[in-house]
Amino acid sequence: MQKVTILCVGKLKERFYVDAAAEYEKRLSRFCKLEIAELAEARLSETPSPAEIEQALLEEASRVESKLPKFGVLIALCIEGTELSSPALAEALNRFAVFGASQLTFLIGGSVGLHPSLKARADLRLSMSPMTFPHHLARVMLLEQIYRAYQIQAGSRYHK
């Protein structure tokens, strides 16, 4: 069974996000061993300077680096990443599995995104949309899309 880790900068606070994420975690347990790790988000002032943002991204990147598995595939969610349809995501995850990736790590940055060093390290940079979403919602959307990908691979009617 494939191991899927979702590293998130920031914690879910709103009950509706927590409940939605829990539902997809339960559904995914049939397909993979799922782990979600929440990392502290750097605190920023109300109107941070570019230097403050860079410092926050560096702090968060350091926390992320310490939690990344040594092996496996790293998929970073970022707006400039590749947009994939649900079937294309299912195919990409299947391709990783065929090439022996037993560990997939998805990385969701905090409110100011991900440090460029993390994006450069990623095997796949994935964009959910050219639109901007709160990183809390992005987690729920990602969980649903991973679940959908496994359903597509299984030939389920869920995707229809």
CATH, domain range 2-42+51-159? 3.40.1280.10
pLDDT number for residue 1: 83
Q: Which residue has the higher pLDDT, 160 or 102?
A: 102
Q: pTM of the full predicted structure?
A: 0.93
Given this model, what pLDDT does residue 135 score? 83
The pLDDT, as a whole number, for residue 158 is 78
Residue 76 — φ and ψ, nearest 5°? -100, 130
pLDDT band at 160 (very low <50, low <70, confident <90, very high): low
Are 108 and 9 in contact, with CB atoms under 8 Å apart?
A: yes
Residue 80's identity, in one-letter code, is E
- Structural domain boundaries of the chain? 2-42+51-159
